[in-house]
Structure 1
Amino acid sequence: MNLTPITPSRLLALIALSGIGMLAFGLYLQHVVGLNPCPMCIVQRYALIGVVLVAAVGWRLRGWGLAVSGLLLALVAGFGGFTAARQSWLQWYPPEVVTCGRDFYGMVENFPINRAIPMIFKGSGDCTKVDWTFLGGSIANWSFVCFVVFGLLGLCVAVKAVKNR
């Protein structure tokens, strides 16, 4: 049995594939299950797209490029993790007045189309609402865990790339 240690490049490829799987699951929850993403969910998706892109580009780099991509990955994952942590906080301690977003039909009926379309891409729904749980955690909770793991793995890639240089 040949157990080779995982290389930084393979780790970045695994991160990219995991991120693609998470994005696919988010689209499944939106389009099949019918859960509307809130604005914070949309920001987390953009951060996840950033993680996937940085990991996919870094997968093919060597040397200092690999170290830089690991640091960029940690930075983008940190941004996504911060957004997910903020949403988790809002879910645990909801504010008195919700100002997170509008519903889809309210946007279309009350605004001209040139203002409604950008609002649609910002998301709809309430960021404090918990629509789906797995093992007691909301989507925001699990998103935070994944971003933290991606960030730590990005730092590991950077450290290993510097040591191998």
Structure 2
Amino acid sequence: MQRNTLIGLAAFGSLALLLGAFAFQHLGGLPPCKLCIWQRWPHAVAIPIGLIAVAIRGWLLPLLGMLAALTTGAIGLYHTGVERGLWEGPATCTASGGDGLSNADFFDKIVTAPVIRCDDVAWEMLGLSMASWNALIAFGLAALWWAALRKS
């Protein structure tokens, strides 16, 4: 496969995973936990890297894309371990925010906000959670970035 095809597939894969996560959140009614949000950021970074890397030759951008994919994959593995009770997750896996609110309004928001726990599996398919699927697919995307890097 050509370098730009590999980069396009990798960037499109990140876009598809990110859009899927937003669909689960906004259409499926599954609000994300803190670790879910963390897994989204590297995908959001990989997409513009891919767009730029198609236009600019060199090894740096495919390397950065691969690192983004490996990062979200590692966070996905960590999140899977938290979900399976293999290790502790972040102490604060709850919704946050209070900018511009009075103390009373902020307190009311905290008390009434649902707690999104990182150690609960909200959805799974074939015995794997969304975090597990993200990790597997992200490592596949990292392989595409690696192949593009080797052609650079």
TM-score computed with the length of structure 2 as normaliser: 0.82
CA distance, structure 1, for counterparts of residue 43 and residue 66 of structure 2: 12
Map 1:15-94 onto structure 2 (within 5 A).
15-62=10-57, 64=58, 67-93=59-85
Q: Does structure 2 retain, via aligned residues, the 8 Å contact 1:100–1:127?
A: no
Q: Which runs of 5+ in 1 are unaligned?
A: 1-5, 117-123
Residue 59 and residue 96 in structure 1: after superposition, are their counterparts in 2 closer, same or farther (change >3 A)?
closer
Deviations 1:60-87 (A, max 9, x none): 222x2xx211111111112111111110
Aligned length: 143
The alignment partner of 1:20 has SS state of: helix
Q: Which runs of 5+ in 2 are unaligned?
A: 107-114
The alignment partner of 2:40 has SS state of: helix
Q: 1:152 aligns with which of 143, 146, 150?
A: 143
Aligned CA RMSD, in angstroms, stands at 2.7
- Report sequence identity in percent: 22
Which residue of the partner structure matches residue 143 of structure 1? 134
Deviation (angstroms), 1:140: 0.4
Deviations 1:47-72 (A, max 9, x none): 1111112112112222x2xx211111
CA distance, structure 1, for counterparts of residue 140 and residue 88 of structure 2: 33
Runs of 4 or more, structure 1, over 2 Å off, are 94-100, 111-116
